[in-house]
Amino acid sequence: MSDKIIVGIVQASPVFMNLEASLAKAIALIQQAAEQGAKLVAFGETWLAGYPAWLDYCPNAALWNHEPTKEVFARLRRNSVVVPGLETEMLSEVAAKYGVVLVVGINERIERGAGNGTLYNSLLTFGADGAILNHHRKLVPTYTERLVWGQGDAAGLEAVETNAGRVGGLICWEHWMPLARQAMHNSGEDVHIAVFPTVHETHQIASRHYAFEGRCFVLAAGLLMKAGDLPAELAAGTESENTPEKFLLRGGSCVIAPDGTYVVEPIFDEEKIIVAELDLTIIDREKMTLDVSGHYSRPDVFDLKINRSSRREK
C-alpha cells in the first residue's frame, strides 16, 4: 500500500425509491471516480435508494396508521437491498472491475426468516477485489428514523484492512456516541467514512472532531435531494409541493485531515465527485500529541467492553 492514496466522495442524488435506477447511476459514478484516479469511493447515508427525508419534511408522515405513509414505507421496503443479494453482487463486480474500495450506505431489507419485516440503515464496505469486508448496521436510528429502521449491533463496528489503508465508518448521529467512536478508534482507522443525509454545520463539527480525536482522515459524505423527490402522496398540500427545485438535502461533503483541518472544504448544492489525495504519513505525525487508543487512553483507569456478537437473522 502506498503512503499516498486518491479518494473520491460521490455527492449526488440517487433515484429516490428506485433501487434499479439508483444502482445503475451508482455504477456509472463509480466508473467516473475510478477514471479520476480514486482508489477509495464513498457514497452518503442510505444512498441506495435514498434517505427517508419525508419523516422530517412531511407533517403527516408520522401519524399513527396513516395509509399514505404505510404505502411509502412499502415502496421503500421493496426498493431496499438484501445482503447478500443481486445488488451486492453487482457492487462487488464493479469494485473488482475498477479495483476500488467501495463504501456505500443502503436501506437494508431482511428477506426471509426472523426479522423479515425490519429495515436497517446499513453501511457496506467492499474491497478492491469485490469482497464484502464489512457490514455495519446503525446502532440507534435517530428520532423519527425509528419508524422505519431497527437497531443494529456491533458486529461491524470496526475498521477493515484494505489496499487504501484501514477503513471504517459510522452513520450520522453515531458520531455523537462516545463509546462507538472509541470502539472505532481502537480498531485503528486510517480513513473514516462519515455518512450523513446532509453534512450541515453540526455534522461538520462532528466530522472534524472525529478526525482530530481519532487522528485519521475523514471523508464526510452527504446526499443531494430536492423537494420534488419527496413522495407525492406525503408532499401533497405542503410547502415542498410548491418548491420542487429547493434542496432539502444539500450535500456538504468534505475531506478532513487528522488535525481537524479541511483537505477539501464542504461543497453544497452541487452534484460532484470530490477527489483528493491523502498522505497517510500525516497520521504518524499527529499521533505524537494525541492517541486516544494508545498513550492517551489510560487503560488502567478506563475499560471499554464491546459485545460483538451478532444479532443478525440466520
17-30 tens-digit pLDDT: 999 999 999 999 99
Going by C-alpha positions, the residue among 202, 206, 204, 224 that lies closest to residue 268 is: 224
- In angstroms, the CA 51 to CA 197 distance is 6
Q: What percent of the chain has pLDDT over 70?
A: 98
pLDDT grade for 234, boundaries at 50, 70 and 90: confident
Mean pLDDT score, 139-157? 94
**Contact indicator for 231, 52 with CB cutoff of 8 Å:** no
Domain ranges within the chain, ordered by starting residue? 4-286
Q: Could you tell me the sign of the dihedral formed by the alpha carbons of 162, 163, 168, 171, in that order?
A: negative
Give residue 29's pLDDT.
98
Give residue 241's pLDDT.
75
pLDDT grade for 190, boundaries at 50, 70 and 90: very high
Average pLDDT, the chain: 94
- In angstroms, the CA 272 to CA 225 distance is 13
Cell of 255: 475531506
Q: Is the pLDDT of residue 272 over 90?
A: yes
Topology at the third CATH level for domain 4-286: Nitrilase/N-carbamoyl-D-aminoacid amidohydrolase (3.60.110)
**pLDDT tens across 39-62, in order?**
999 999 999 999 999 999 888 888
Q: Is the pLDDT of residue 314 over 60?
A: no
Mean pLDDT score, 235-239? 78
- In angstroms, the CA 162 to CA 142 distance is 30
Give residue 65's pLDDT.
87
Give residue 62's pLDDT.
80
Dihedral angle of Cα 191, 222, 209, 294, to the nearest 10 degrees? -20
Full-model pTM: 0.95
Mean pLDDT score, 272-299? 94
pLDDT grade for 310, boundaries at 50, 70 and 90: confident
**Angle (CA) 138 17 219, round 5°:** 45
**Helical axes 86-98 vs 19-35, angle rounded to 10°:** 10
Q: What percent of the chain has pLDDT over 90?
A: 84
Q: Is the pLDDT of residue 182 over 90?
A: yes
Catalytic positions, written as ranges = 45, 138, 172
**Contact indicator for 247, 223 with CB cutoff of 8 Å:** no
Give residue 114's pLDDT.
64
pLDDT grade for 1, boundaries at 50, 70 and 90: low
Give residue 313's pLDDT.
58
